[in-house]
Structure 1
């Protein structure tokens, strides 16, 4: 039944204070979590939170998991869930949704924006000197102040219809 789910999923329980994997699906195995090294990495990041959930009366809990070093890390959105009538049994379903592509895109965009913003005044000055700083209507000098120098962009200022700054 678990193999019908497209994300890494496992049924886990608590036995003598130890987290046990009762069943796992193909995606869980494909992600490497069924191997001892993968299971150890998973439990290193989540064992205390899983134990806390299984000892509670909560029906659902979400948490973030990061596995690996900063350069080659994987990011997961982990959900622990069980039916309300089963809260006395220390067992639940754990699903892991891989958030790595989203995290990498976000990190890349932040890096790009920080380098772009740092270089923006010099680019604007160049455009003003060349007479290419134009407003939305195509009029020259939209970003240029006196002497062909670009005007500083203030926080939340709109330039060419786009909000820039903080």
Structure 2
């Protein structure tokens, strides 16, 4: 099996446990970066979240995910291009139970969320373009392809839970 298969599998296995509204998730890989998507509940409303991880190869050849942010909470809003349309996203630093931090992105507006949901409902693949700026102020252009398979069923299931 390829390194990328194991990277994707590890990413899915390491998704944060806060996904209480649904089990749906999907991931895309761009070089050493992984963008995972999931459905979650926030303030009584269903939302779609993207989690951004950086993968690194250690001496044993295994991949592991490194912290990409150093504080818990809201940082700012950023733009992501989703299937060719710019969407304003809230950028939030979250901490997992094992004390690893990662960036989470969710649409800022209800219109942005509606657009994202429509893309997952009516396309097979959602293309996400993100400009990532690391702690050294270096920019990286990232392109992710996220599978929409299983999204509709999970979205309906999570609507029933709410």
Q: What's the TM-score once normalised by structure 2's chain length?
A: 0.34
More strand by share: 2
More helix by share: 1
Higher-RCO chain (CA-CA 8 Å, sequence separation at least 6) = 2
